[in-house]
Amino acid sequence: MTILVEIDNADLAVAMAATATSALAGDQVTYNVAAFNRGPLDGTGAMLTTRIPANSALVSATGVYTVAGNVIIWNLGTLPISTEIDQYVTVQATSTGPMTGFSRITGTLPDLDLGNNTTRDVAPAGITDWWRAEGNTTNSVGSATAILENGATYVAHGYDDTGFSFDGVDDSVQVSSENLGSNYSVDFWVYPTRSSGLEHLISNDYRSTNLGHSISEATIWNTGRAAAAKSSRQPTASA
């Protein structure tokens, strides 16, 4: 005898697009956040959230929403099968830099595909490598590989959802050799938890010299290229 058990479920999904991936202070960026229900049942208790960049201030948002810090929250309630709901969020950059947003959708019914429940805007133009640290070392843009070394792991709440976590002693993310030319830039966000000391943030080799940028009070050691792009600037690292 074969017994089939079917679980009531709704495949909720979210997509996100931005009018710009970086901005100068004072510029405005608009995000289109789209919520979907791919079935097979109507979604219930659907909640849509969008986290705006730390270097931005909310200008406006569509729909009925609440704000908690830098997070916009829409209580969508029931989301019928094959329905799409689009919300728009406009922010103003408070400082020059990347304008990476992050969105998530949840519901009360089981969701058998959680891979499409979170998203962010696309990689900034010119990016050659991007390690998102989403529980893995996958390069979502380029081909250069990365591996965790000496116990490095992941943290659930980084700047944009998950991130790499380091002990400040010898943890690292080792990135494979790649020729980016004589000029390139490196960007990553650091949350320091030490009150003293000096550690490398990025280097050609963590056993040798620093790549021209150090920061005190940081637990990050040799982070590797979180995002690398060809640029007319001299090698820099920002935190």
Q: How many whole angstroms separate alpha carbon 87 and alpha carbon 93? A: 20
**Residue 31: which pLDDT band, with cuts at 50, 70 and 90?**
very high
Q: Quick check: 11 pLDDT over 60?
A: yes
CB 54 within 8 A of CB 23: no
Residue type present at position 167: D
Residue type present at position 150: N
Phi, psi angle pair for 217, to nearest 5°: 60, 40
Tokens of 133: 């640290």
Torsion sign (Cα): 130, 104, 238, 134: negative
Which residues are 73's β-sheet partners?
Answer: 49, 66
In the DSSP assignment, the letter for residue 11 is E
- Taking the whole predicted model, whether its pTM rises above 0.85 is answered as no
Tokens of 144: 């250069």
Rg (CA), the chain: 20
The 10s digit of each residue's pLDDT in 112-135 is 888 788 876 555 556 677 777 767
**Residue 71: which pLDDT band, with cuts at 50, 70 and 90?**
very high
